[in-house]
Amino acid sequence: MKRRTMLQLLTAVGVAGALALPAHAQKVTLNVYTALETDQLKAYQEGFNRVHPDIEIRWTRDSTGIITAKLLAEKSNPVADVVMGVAASSMAVFDREGLLQPYAPAGLQRVRAEYRDQANPPKWVGMDVWGAAICYNTVEAQKLGLPKIESWRDLTRPEFRGKVVMPNPASSGTGFFDVTAWLQIFGEQAGWEYMDRLHDNIAVYTHSGSKPCRMAGAGEFPVGISFEYRANATRESGAPIEVVYPSEGLGWDLEAAGIVSGTKKLEAARKLLDWAISDDAMQLYAKNFAVVAVPGFASRLTHVPADYEQRLVNNDFAWMAANRDAILAEWQKRYATKSEPK
Amino acid sequence: MAANHAARWRMPALAELDGRLAQWLLVLVCAALSLFLLAPLAAMLVLAVQDREGNFAGLAQFAAYLEMPGLAESVWNSLWVSATVTLITVPAAFAFAYALQRSCMPGRSLLRLAGLSPLLGPSLVAAIAFIQWFGNQGALKVLMGGVSIYGAPGIILSASYATFPHALMILTAALANADGRLYEAADALGASRWRRFLTVTLPGAKYGLISAAMVVFSYTISDFGIPKVIGGNFRMLAVDIYQQVIGQQNFNRGAVVGLILLLPALFAFIVDWRMQRRAQAALTARAVPYVARPARLRDGLGLFYCTVVAGLLLAVLGMAVYTSFVTFWPYNLAPTLRHYVFGLDEAGVISAYYNSLRMAAATALLGTAFIFFTAWLLEKTRGADVLRPFLRLMAALPMGVPGLVLGLGYVIFFNAPDNPLGGLYQTMAIMVVANVVHYYSSCHLTAVTALKAIDREFEAVSASLKVSGFLTLWRVTLPVCLPAVLEIGRYLFVNAMTTVSALVFIYASHTLPAAVSILHLDEAGEIGPAAAMATLIVATSTLVCLLYAVFSHLLLRRTQAWRQARP
């Protein structure tokens, strides 16, 4: 009885699915999981379809944390064919679960070595860099008489007590690369000492990397530690903020692309990856990001310092992944509880 | 001959046949709940005893979680905040429900709608609105007296706001039916109004009060959406889940927290189960329905109180509506329609809106039928006694399950390669089912509260008259409970329009719901368009509620004539 109901159900679902199939069945459809912004997706899709009109991209878009968790939950039977525009740190997690199919896209050698997976052929390739940035609300700063900021150290000045917002590294990848960058720039001991002093000035640790900049943009708190793309987008939308790239060095992550292993549409997936590091694609990325994976594409962003790329710290993704639990435990111990053990 | 045969069959066996059919149906609903609630939940929570590679790890994950710094603080914060919210919301909602059901104040249907208004908008919007009212740029910041909204104050405010309608729905059902004779007796004995309230009204609503308290408590302790937006550094267990699963992709440890969060729901189940044995129906077969008579002081106080509460509730939504019409809050308050144009222009937002409408309609129709029928089977039929506690447990579980755990459980279970129901994954159907399961507890408690108010004598009488119990359901029980049934349908509809937490993992590119697209807009910093989309959802839900009110008014006038007090 139960079995028959199930069969009927399956038939019903099958028939409904068949009816819903589009008329042009020869078109290949790629399921692509992404954390890119909606407006970027449109441009990338158009760019890709100019070269490959026969491949339709079906995006599933959400924040990095959600998309990563979703793909992991589906790991026994992945729905996605390609992951594109998802953080390299998430790619490392997928790789550990054996979810990525190695592939060397055409023109791979043009991508800078530190912006792609070290394996050969690589499991993923970078598209562009998103680095740390501080959003500084000029209107509120003037009201409160706050000094200008040029470096991370400036944030520990007593004037900023209760004025700074940053992402919680336990919730947000952006927060995590801020912490690892400080540990790398200042050294382990001085890094934690720096965070101790910064902690005194932090009003709120948020659960998303975009949030601090949006809070700064809305004047909730005058200073938000966030990342470059969000900072520029917030300023574009009319918020009175100045974007600061601290001089000591910037933590960063990549937007990366990779093929999900076991995909039935390997041919089309490879074409998408080839396109993802093509000149066309890099030109589109450069509209939103100061640094893209292939050198030589000038950013069209204004207000980005000329030496931006030199300010990026030397990220070691393997080291970050291996020490993540230990760093977060230490961070939680120091800052996540009210009774601060000092 | 066939007729002869049938006649021989029908006469003696009706009661037995009835009972057996009910038992089979009971087995069927238990199977459905096992499949769509227990199995996905188990698929997620079993990770608590596994390591990352999927090997059995015993209690190692628990030990690791217990060693995390600040855990005691998380537990304590979760408990005291949830208790505070319960102590605020339940009395407030009870007074509101009392005024709606037991007074003759004017404008009751409008006030009822205002009381349910927190359900009309996505919970994200409420938390943002509270920041806009009480945050550092807030219009009412002075009221905070220098205390930051980020942290416990914000969570308690937002959670009290968000849980108010859930409690209101259960308490309205609890106060819907009462035996007028008890009130007459109390009056005849010269009891004061206050004494009458304490000895007649409160005991009659006891089951509803306890159910409402448990729903509010469990909801507050398991929801991570509110502390995520307005909680600041305040640690709670639900935030721990978010950090483990979304922040660090550690499903195993997230499952540990998920299991811990089930404890309040388990406790609720035990309380509910114990109360079953002592429960008495307020509305016996000989009861005379109680109808409130005008009383100037009570009606005036009720109207005043409800207007104030309704005003406060509407102010929250009002801020979101206002934000959708200004250029850039708080720096450029020039009015604009740009956000609506932009929001509607955004890829897929309009289709997301239609997705939500279809999903909400299906959730309301299927969910109401299934939940009410199951509650009826549980309360009004006999036999299959081993299944009943199980069914009660299934009904209590969802209120303790964070949407995130349910959503991931659905992915893991239904997307498994060897699951014959795998075809459901990536469809609208699975989202409808997930919604029904997610909001099961309050609806179940509302249905049970309404059913409990009706004496079992009705079933006994119909059995002795050789009328099928199912016919009694159709002819007597359903009409009597129609207000509660309509309430459940509306509740499911508006919740399905606004829910995010479970769906965020199971929507596919062609089934993106509007509430998720609002979340996306907010994440991208597009507060204006997010508020505009939210306003559209609120407007839709309000329209549906108004249509519903007209429809139910007409329907109730036909079916509730028995409520009129006899001259």
B351-394 confidence digits (pLDDT tens): 888 999 999 999 999 999 999 999 999 988 887 888 988 998 99
Inform me whether the pLDDT recorded for A88 exceeds 70: yes
Q: What is the number of helices (H) and of strands (E) in chain B?
A: 27, 2
Inform me whether the pLDDT recorded for B218 exceeds 70: yes
**Is there a contact between A333 and B69 if contact means CB atoms under 8 Å apart?**
yes
Of A303 and B567, which is predicted with more confidence? A303
B271 with B218: CB under 8 angstroms? no
For residue B247, which residues of chain A lie inside 8 Å, CB to CB? Answer: 65, 168, 170-172, 207
Between CA B247 and CA A336 the distance in angstroms is: 15
Q: What is the mean pLDDT of residues A133-150?
A: 95
Q: Which of B370, B438, B432 is nearest to B402 (CA)?
A: B438
Q: DSSP string spanning A51-108? A: H-TTEEEEEEE--HHHHHHHHHHTTTS---SEEEEEEHHHHHHHHHTT-EE----TTG
Q: Please, which pLDDT band fits residue B280 given cuts at 50, 70 and 90?
A: low
Inform me whether the pLDDT recorded for A6 exceeds 80: no
Q: Please, which pLDDT band fits residue B278 given cuts at 50, 70 and 90?
A: low
Q: What is the mean pLDDT of residues A249-259?
A: 95
pLDDT value, residue B115 = 93
Between CA B328 and CA B410 the distance in angstroms is: 39
Q: Kindly report which listed range (A116-125, A139-148, B551-560) carries the lowest average pLDDT score.
A: B551-560
CB of B228 within 8 Å of a chain A CB? The answer is yes
Between CA B410 and CA A69 the distance in angstroms is: 13
Cis peptide before B330 (omega within 30 of 0): yes
What is the CATH number that goes with domain A131-252+317-336? 3.40.190.10
pLDDT value, residue A338 = 54
Write out the binding residues of A for Fe cation: 229
Name residues 529-548 of chain B within 8 A of A (Cβ): none
Q: Please, which pLDDT band fits residue A21 given cuts at 50, 70 and 90?
A: very low
**Is there a contact between A62 and B520 if contact means CB atoms under 8 Å apart?**
yes
**Is there a contact between A65 and B246 if contact means CB atoms under 8 Å apart?**
yes
Inform me whether the pLDDT recorded for B77 exceeds 90: yes
pLDDT value, residue B70 = 79
pLDDT value, residue A227 = 94
Q: Please, which pLDDT band fits residue B328 given cuts at 50, 70 and 90?
A: confident
Distances (CA, A) of A170 to A162, A208, A289, B65, B214: 21, 10, 25, 14, 31
A85-103 core/surface letters (b: 16 or more CB in 10 A; e: else): bbbbbbbbbbbeeebbbeb
Between CA A271 and CA B386 the distance in angstroms is: 58
- State which residue of chain B sits closest to A241, comparing Cα positions: B331
Please state the pTM of the whole predicted model. Answer: 0.86
* Paired tokens of B424: 């459901």
Total Cβ atoms within 10 A of residue B556: 15
Name residues 3-62 of chain A within 8 A of B (Cβ): 6, 9-10, 13-14, 17, 31, 37-38, 41-42, 58-62
Q: What is the mean pLDDT of residues B257-267?
A: 88
Total Cβ atoms within 10 A of residue A333: 14
Q: What is the mean pLDDT of residues B224-231?
A: 87
Between CA A107 and CA B17 the distance in angstroms is: 75
**For helices B108-115 and B152-174, angle between their N-to-C axes, nearest 10 degrees:** 140
CB of A139 within 8 Å of a chain B CB? The answer is yes
Q: Do domains A2-129+253-306 and A131-252+317-336 have the same CATH topology?
A: yes
* Paired tokens of A85: 């525009």
**Is there a contact between B235 and A239 if contact means CB atoms under 8 Å apart?**
no
Q: What is the mean pLDDT of residues A266-292?
A: 95
- The domain ranges of chain A are 2-129+253-306, 131-252+317-336
Inform me whether the pLDDT recorded for B456 exceeds 70: yes
The dihedral region occupied by B130, where left means phi > 0, alpha psi between -120 and 50, and beta the remainder, is alpha
Q: Please, which pLDDT band fits residue B460 given cuts at 50, 70 and 90?
A: confident
Cis peptide before A121 (omega within 30 of 0): yes
**Strand pairing partners for A135?**
A224, A243
Q: Which of B141, B268, B298, B116 is nearest to B207 (CA)?
A: B268
pLDDT value, residue A4 = 52
Inform me whether the pLDDT recorded for A217 exceeds 90: yes
Between CA B415 and CA B43 the distance in angstroms is: 11
| CATH topology (fold) of A2-129+253-306 | D-Maltodextrin-Binding Protein; domain 2 (3.40.190)
pLDDT value, residue B567 = 42
Q: Average pLDDT, whole number, for chain A?
A: 88
Residue to mutate among A207, A229, A288, A335, with most B CBs inside 10 A, is A207
**Exposure of A25 by Cβ count < 10 A (0-12 exposed, 13-18 middle, 19+ buried)?**
exposed
pLDDT value, residue B449 = 85
Q: Kindly report which listed range (A97-106, B120-129, B419-428) carries the lowest average pLDDT score.
A: B120-129
Q: Kindly report which listed range (A13-22, A235-244, B166-175, B546-555) carries the lowest average pLDDT score.
A: A13-22
For residue B150, which residues of chain A lie inside 8 Å, CB to CB? Answer: 203-204
Distances (CA, A) of B137 to A163, A221, B132: 13, 9, 7
**Helix or strand holding residue A132 (H, E):** strand A125-137
Name residues 410-469 of chain B within 8 A of A (Cβ): 411-412, 415-417, 420-427, 429
* Paired tokens of B272: 């509910």
> For the segment A143-171, what is each residue's pLDDT rounded down to a tens digit?
999 999 999 999 999 999 999 999 999 88
Looking at B175-295, list the stretches that DSSP marks H as alpha helix, in order from N- to C-terminal side. 180-188, 193-196, 202-204, 206-222, 225-230, 237-242, 251-278
What is the share, in percent, of chain B residues with pLDDT greater than 90? Answer: 35
Q: What is the mean pLDDT of residues B23-39?
A: 94
**For helices B514-523 and B349-380, angle between their N-to-C axes, nearest 10 degrees:** 130
Inform me whether the pLDDT recorded for B7 exceeds 50: no
| CATH topology (fold) of B14-563 | MetI-like fold (1.10.3720)
Of A44 and B530, which is predicted with more confidence? A44
Residue type, A14: G
- DSSP state, B426? T
The minimum CA-CA distance between B102 and chain A, rounded to whole Å, is 44
> For the segment A171-203, what is each residue's pLDDT rounded down to a tens digit?
898 999 999 999 999 999 999 999 999 999 999
Residue to mutate among A95, A337, A339, A342, with most B CBs inside 10 A, is A337
- State which residue of chain B sits closest to A41, comparing Cα positions: B347
Residue type, A265: K
- The domain ranges of chain B are 14-563
Q: Kindly report which listed range (A57-61, B177-181, B419-423, B442-446) carries the lowest average pLDDT score.
A: B177-181
- DSSP state, B144? G
> For the segment B529-542, what is each residue's pLDDT rounded down to a tens digit?
888 888 888 999 99
Inform me whether the pLDDT recorded for A17 exceeds 60: no
- State which residue of chain A sits closest to B348, comparing Cα positions: A38
Inform me whether the pLDDT recorded for A308 exceeds 80: yes
Q: Average pLDDT, whole number, for chain B?
A: 86
Cα–chain center distance at B363: 13
Q: Please, which pLDDT band fits residue B1 given cuts at 50, 70 and 90?
A: very low
A129 with A208: CB under 8 angstroms? no
CB of A66 within 8 Å of a chain B CB? The answer is yes
Between CA A153 and CA A134 the distance in angstroms is: 13
Of A60, A170, A221, the CB nearest to B248: A170
B170 with B215: CB under 8 angstroms? yes
**Is there a contact between B328 and A239 if contact means CB atoms under 8 Å apart?**
yes
Q: For residue A323, give the 3-state DSSP assignment.
A: coil
Q: Kindly report which listed range (A259-273, B187-201, B307-321) carries the lowest average pLDDT score.
A: B187-201
Residue to mutate among B148, B235, B248, with most A CBs inside 10 A, is B248
Q: Which of B2, B329, B201 is nearest to A220 (CA)?
A: B329
Of B84 and B241, which is predicted with more confidence? B84
Inform me whether the pLDDT recorded for B157 exceeds 60: yes
Inform me whether the pLDDT recorded for A19 exceeds 50: no
For residue B422, which residues of chain A lie inside 8 Å, CB to CB? Answer: 77
Question: How many Cα neighbours within 13 Å face the side chain of A150?
Answer: 2
Inform me whether the pLDDT recorded for B261 exceeds 80: yes
pLDDT value, residue A99 = 96
Phi/psi of residue A205, nearest 5 degrees? -95, 120
